[in-house]
Structure 1
Amino acid sequence: MSFRIADLAHGQRLTSTLAAIQARTREAQMAIASGKAVRRYDQIADDAGLLLRARDARTLAGALLDRNQTLARRLQAMDSALDGLVGIAQRARAALVRRLDSGTGRNMPLTTELDSMLAEIAARLNTKLGEDHLFAGSRTDRPPVVLPAGSITVADPSLYYRGDEVRLSARVDEGVEITYGVTASDPAFADLIAALGQARVAHAADDRAGLEQAMAGLDAALDGIIDLRGGLGAEAARLDSIRDAHEAGIAYLDDIVSGIEDTDVPTVMTRLAQDQATLEAAYAVTGRLAALSLADYLR
């Protein structure tokens, strides 16, 4: 005698299989919705250690990259200030060339021009980024340059500088710390301020020799500021190289983390469709079996 419906053991196996497929379907739906293939470390026992190490390394690299981007902005702001000082020195030099013209130079309003330039110099050297004055050494909470009422005619930073001589440093990579920047007490800035002060006094006294001396001081200041820009450029280039390495490392670590815990959506969608088709077929068969009557058994 043969049976047309499954026995009890077969029914239990069918129920267990359906439950497993249902659980797998729920997991797939959650993976697609969240974008994460795993939610517990016990699901990735073989890769859990690698995942934790990759996450830790990613956190450190991200913190260093953020710090280095802030440092890059500081260097860019300092370079912009130095670029402005180069422009001021060049304008001052052109003004002195006109002043040394024996025909019309004596009558030009050089004092007004020089006063305006000195104010610009102070503003550039008092450049801030956020709450920090960039040319003040470690005393970043206050403007480093305060020009006196009278003319400064000697290259002496103590006559205008209110910062200190500490060059700032930053940890830019594992085991790598760089010292960067420049203070407003640098000889190039002192030369520039003194040259403009000398020109101001010489103009008022109609002192041609004094004007020529101021011109020489301007040339020295201009060369010095250009050298400072070159130094900042070298620091910025080194920092860019380190930042590029951090960005590449972060991309690599993100790939590792993603490969372990992120959902492969096309694969999961295919598996989900297969499981859903299996469930629908199983439910249809179960429904037909449940609808069988005694008459069906006797046929």
Structure 2
Amino acid sequence: MNLRIADNSTAATFTARVNAQRSRLAVLQERLSSGKRINRPSDDPNGAEAVVKIRTSQTEIKQFQRTALAANQKLTAADDSLNGYENLLERVRTLVSQGLSDTATQNAKNALATEIDSLRSRILNVADSKNGDDYLFGGSRQTEPPFDPATAAPSAIPATAQYIQIEPGTNAIPVGVTAESVFSDATSNIFTDLTNAVNALRGTGDAAVDRTTLETTMSRIATYTSLVDVAHAAVGANMNATDLAQENLTNNFLNLDERANDIEGDDFAGTALELADAQRALEATLQVASQGRRTLFDYLG
């Protein structure tokens, strides 16, 4: 027996049923295409709120990841510069040692002085080197270079190490070392010492004084080399800290991602079956309605 739509009330019932089935179908299609069961807050208010909190935490982690990466890059640049500085110091030590030889002629000493003067300029470039817009050894002083590019005079602005927090809930770490801790000490700085060595090699008129100056320079070079070793250790430790922080941040991000997926993620196979059932149900409803003298389509337009 054909089901006939007798009045508007019956038609309205069918219309509501079809609209509900179509809405359900649309929801399932969206879930299937997005892979999520929560596509808007109304789908699951509590779940949606939990996911928002997770995504907020992930945004914070991303910021720390950028900070940790930048810190690691700066520390790597500092480490490379310290290596270069150490090599230059070793070359200076070799040249000064040659200048102390009793067999060195004045012409030979003049040549040594010229090379040391050149090495002094190269060391100055290292001391004033930049990482992006920041002075690599500037620390908290970033308005001017650690040493005057023309005279090598040290900056009058005091500097401390630059600290950056690279992981939530942890203390900030220094991202480098200051020029004061590597290129100078309480006694002098490398540039003054090298200038004195150059003058001694070229001769001041007092051979005994010149020899003492060169011997002092040898001792000073050993001091600067020790300062570099200390700086290397500090930079290396903080590079390890940034590496560990980046690993922790990545793991935390992935764990949060897994939690979010557990909350909002959908069962693809299950949803596909639901979608097939919903499609069959809608088709059945429309088929039943079409058997009446006035079909549901008359009311749906």
Alignment gaps of 5+ in structure 1: 153-158, 293-299
Aligned partner of 1:140 in structure 2 is 142
Letter in 2 for 1:223: S
Letter in 2 for 1:125: A
Letter in 2 for 1:255: E
Aligned partner of 1:69 in structure 2 is 69
Counterpart CA distance in 1 for 2:191 and 2:272 is 71
Letter in 1 for 2:178: T
8 A contact 2:128–2:149 mirrored in 1: no
Alignment gaps of 5+ in structure 2: 295-301
Match for residue 164 of structure 1 among 153, 158, 179: 158
Aligned partner of 2:121 in structure 1 is 119
Match status 1:254 vs 2:252: no
| Structure 1 SS opposite 2:43 | helix
Report the alpha carbon displacement of residue 36 of structure 1 after superposing the two structures with TM.
Answer: 4.2
Aligned partner of 2:40 in structure 1 is 40
User: 1:98-154: CA deviations, max 9, x gaps?
Assistant: 3344445643412221122111111111122222213223221222211565xx8xx
Aligned partner of 1:200 in structure 2 is 198
Aligned partner of 1:128 in structure 2 is 130
Distance 1:101 1:263, change over 3 A: farther
Let me know the Cα RMSD of the aligned residues: 3.1
Matches within 5 A, 1:85-234: 85-103=85-103, 106-108=106-108, 109-146=111-148, 149=151, 159-180=153-174, 181-186=176-181, 188-189=183-184, 191-205=189-203, 207-234=210-237
Aligned partner of 2:29 in structure 1 is 29
Counterpart CA distance in 2 for 1:200 and 1:35 is 73
Q: TM-score, normalised by structure 1?
A: 0.79
Give the % identical residues.
23
Report the alpha carbon displacement of residue 221 of structure 1 after superposing the two structures with TM.
Answer: 0.8
Counterpart CA distance in 2 for 1:88 and 1:221 is 11
Letter in 2 for 1:208: R
Report the alpha carbon displacement of residue 86 of structure 1 after superposing the two structures with TM.
Answer: 1.0
| Structure 2 SS opposite 1:61 | helix
Aligned partner of 1:19 in structure 2 is 19
Counterpart CA distance in 1 for 2:138 and 2:100 is 36
Counterpart CA distance in 1 for 2:269 and 2:120 is 66
Letter in 1 for 2:21: I
| Structure 1 SS opposite 2:160 | coil
Report the alpha carbon displacement of residue 200 of structure 1 after superposing the two structures with TM.
Answer: 0.9
Aligned partner of 1:156 in structure 2 is none
Letter in 2 for 1:72: N
Counterpart CA distance in 2 for 1:138 and 1:117 is 27
Letter in 1 for 2:135: H
Aligned partner of 2:299 in structure 1 is none
Report the alpha carbon displacement of residue 204 of structure 1 after superposing the two structures with TM.
Answer: 0.9
User: 1:36-63: CA deviations, max 9, x gaps?
Assistant: 4323223113423422332232222222
Report the alpha carbon displacement of residue 164 of structure 1 after superposing the two structures with TM.
Answer: 1.7
Letter in 1 for 2:199: V
Report the alpha carbon displacement of residue 4 of structure 1 after superposing the two structures with TM.
Answer: 4.3
Counterpart CA distance in 1 for 2:104 and 2:268 is 80
Letter in 2 for 1:38: I
| Structure 2 SS opposite 1:227 | helix
Report the alpha carbon displacement of residue 175 of structure 1 after superposing the two structures with TM.
Answer: 4.2
Letter in 1 for 2:47: D
Report the alpha carbon displacement of residue 184 of structure 1 after superposing the two structures with TM.
Answer: 1.3
Letter in 2 for 1:167: A
User: 1:195-251: CA deviations, max 9, x gaps?
Assistant: 422321221116333323212211111111111110111122223223322221111
User: 1:235-291: CA deviations, max 9, x gaps?
Assistant: 22223223322221111112222333345445434433443344445545655x258
Aligned partner of 2:297 in structure 1 is none
Counterpart CA distance in 2 for 1:59 and 1:208 is 63
8 A contact 1:191–1:218 mirrored in 2: no
Q: TM-score, normalised by structure 2?
A: 0.78
